[in-house]
């Protein structure tokens, strides 16, 4: 279990993390979500004792990271920034870290096999691709068979096969009762991986709930209707308290009314319908909507809330 209490970290004048508190429970994948620059990596570095918080406290299983006797046997971490000497082979990198914890060589071979790096294990890591570097980082995280995993953007640079692999691996690790805390700036990735979400923006907590609840809460139900008499239908919908936006070609996007009600209105008014579809707004949009005030490096398009995607 990971506990963060009132964490605050400043870099110069910039506040990276502000009074952040949350708990990460074992036995499930907890997603740590936020736009770039929201403070995800900083929070993880604070938990791992790499950075010192200005205020607050972070513990793992009730202990500070620096007080763990054999830290790699308790916590496996994958950092976003590279943490490998480029002149050393993957095998020797894992070996020297294993030796600090009294982990035998056999385990080094085991994790190399597990992440699929056997063929390049004796090569210098300087020549590794982003994906290979990521796999090596995961091998380091798994080295000590830890009960807590802290993974910063683990799917970065992985190909689709690699993404699927890491997704399944995280679920499997969680199902074994481990604590899995994984950060991402991609809502869709988290929706299929994480059971629980901790969402932050500008270093502050935005949401701490189950993924299901987050989706439920933050995505609006919409109804897409197509009618040759769209204008008339708009009138009927507006009169009923709904909001309809015309998208051209007789297409309407209706909010604040459900599909059944829109159908009834059409029938009552004698409007011909070519399409009537209830739809959920996209997760990605909901996430952008939710964090829009807290985006650190927003583009002008995203900042005015119009979203260039449509």
Partner 1 sequence: MTAATSTALAPADGRNRFDRLLLAEWTKIRSVRSTIWSLILLVVLSVGFTALFTALTATGWDDFTERDQALIAGDPTSMILGSGFMLGQLTVCVLGVMVIGSEYSTGMIRASVLAAPRRLPMLAAKSVVFGVLVLVLGVLVSFASFYLGAAIINEKAPVSIGDPGVLRAVVGGGLYIAVLGLFALAIGSIVRHTAAGITGVIGFVLVLAPLAQLIPGRAGDYIHAYLPSEAGHLIAQAKQAPNDLLTPWQGYGVFCLWTAALLLVAAFLLKRRDA
Summarize as ranges the residues that interact with partner 1 (CB under 8 A): 45, 48-52, 65-74, 77, 79, 81-89, 92-93, 95-97, 99-104, 106-107, 110, 114, 140, 142, 144-145, 169, 172-173, 176
Least separation in angstroms between CB 258 and partner 1: 44
Please answer whether residues 55 and 8 qualify as being in contact, where contact means their C-beta atoms are separated by less than 8 angstroms. Answer: yes
Question: Between residues 41 and 218, which has the closer beta carbon with respect to partner 1?
Answer: 41
Question: Between residues 126 and 235, which has the closer beta carbon with respect to partner 1?
Answer: 126
Q: Cα(111)–Cα(175) distance, rounded to whole angstroms? A: 19
Question: Between residues 45 and 135, which has the closer beta carbon with respect to partner 1?
Answer: 45
Least separation in angstroms between CB 114 and partner 1: 6
Question: Between residues 92 and 253, which has the closer beta carbon with respect to partner 1?
Answer: 92
Least separation in angstroms between CB 3 and partner 1: 17
The distance in angstroms from the start CA to the end CA of the chain is 41
Taking alpha carbons only, the member of 103, 96, 114, 49 closest to residue 77 is: 49
DSSP states along 28-80: SEEEEE--TTSSHHHHHHHHTTSS--SEEEEEETTB-GGG-SSHHHHEEEE-S
For residue 253, the SS3 value is: strand
Please name every residue paired with 15 in a beta bridge, in sequence order, or none if there are none.
Answer: 10
Q: Are strands 148-152 and 75-78 parallel, antiparallel or unpaired?
A: parallel
Taking alpha carbons only, the member of 143, 165, 156, 155 closest to residue 93 is: 143
Least separation in angstroms between CB 129 and partner 1: 17
Phi and psi at residue 95, in whole multiples of 5°?
Answer: -65, -45
Question: Between residues 31 and 133, which has the closer beta carbon with respect to partner 1?
Answer: 133
Question: Between residues 170 and 197, which has the closer beta carbon with respect to partner 1?
Answer: 170
Q: Cα(309)–Cα(301) distance, rounded to whole angstroms? A: 10
**What count of other Cβ atoms lies within 10 Å of the Cβ of residue 138?**
26
Please name every residue paired with 45 in a beta bridge, in sequence order, or none if there are none.
Answer: none
Enumerate residues 6+ apart whose C-beta is below 8 A from 191.
211, 215, 283
Least separation in angstroms between CB 248 and partner 1: 52
Least separation in angstroms between CB 285 and partner 1: 35
Least separation in angstroms between CB 110 and partner 1: 6
Question: Between residues 76 and 201, which has the closer beta carbon with respect to partner 1?
Answer: 76
């Amino acid at each position: 279990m990971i506990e963060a209490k009132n964490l605050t970290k400043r870099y110069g004048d910039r506040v990276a993390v502000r009074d952040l508190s949350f708990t990460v429970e074992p036995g499930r994948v907890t997603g740590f979500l936020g736009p770039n620059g929201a403070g995800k990596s900083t929070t993880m570095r604070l938990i791992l004792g790499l950075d010192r918080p200005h205020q607050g406290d972070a513990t793992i299983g009730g202990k500070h990271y620096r007080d763990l006797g054999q830290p790699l046997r308790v916590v496996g971490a994958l950092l976003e920034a590279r943490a490998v000497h480029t002149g050393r082979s993957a095998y020797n990198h894992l070996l020297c870290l294993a030796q600090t914890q009294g982990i035998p060589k056999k385990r080094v071979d085991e994790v190399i096999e597990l992440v699929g790096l056997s063929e390049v294990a004796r090569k210098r890591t300087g020549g590794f691709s982003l994906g290979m570097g990521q796999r090596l980082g995961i091998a380091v995280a798994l080295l000590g068979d830890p009960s807590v995993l802290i993974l910063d953007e683990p799917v970065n640079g992985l190909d689709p096969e690699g993404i699927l692999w890491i997704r399944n691996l995280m679920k499997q690790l969680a199902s074994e009762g481990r604590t899995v805390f994984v950060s991402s700036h991609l809502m869709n990735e988290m929706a299929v991986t994480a059971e629980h979400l901790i969402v932050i923006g500008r270093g502050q907590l935005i949401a701490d709930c189950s993924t299901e609840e987050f989706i439920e809460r933050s995505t609006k139900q919409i109804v897409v209707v197509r009618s040759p008499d769209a204008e008339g239908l708009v009138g009927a919908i507006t009169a009923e308290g709904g909001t309809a936006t015309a998208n051209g070609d007789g297409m309407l996007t209706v909010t604040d009314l459900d599909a059944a009600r829109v159908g009834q209105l059409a029938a009552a008014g004698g409007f011909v319908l070519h399409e009537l579809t209830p739809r959920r707004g996209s997760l990605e949009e909901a996430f952008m909507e939710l964090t829009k005030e807290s985006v650190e490096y927003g583009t002008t398009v995203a900042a005015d809330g119009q979203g260039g995607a449509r």
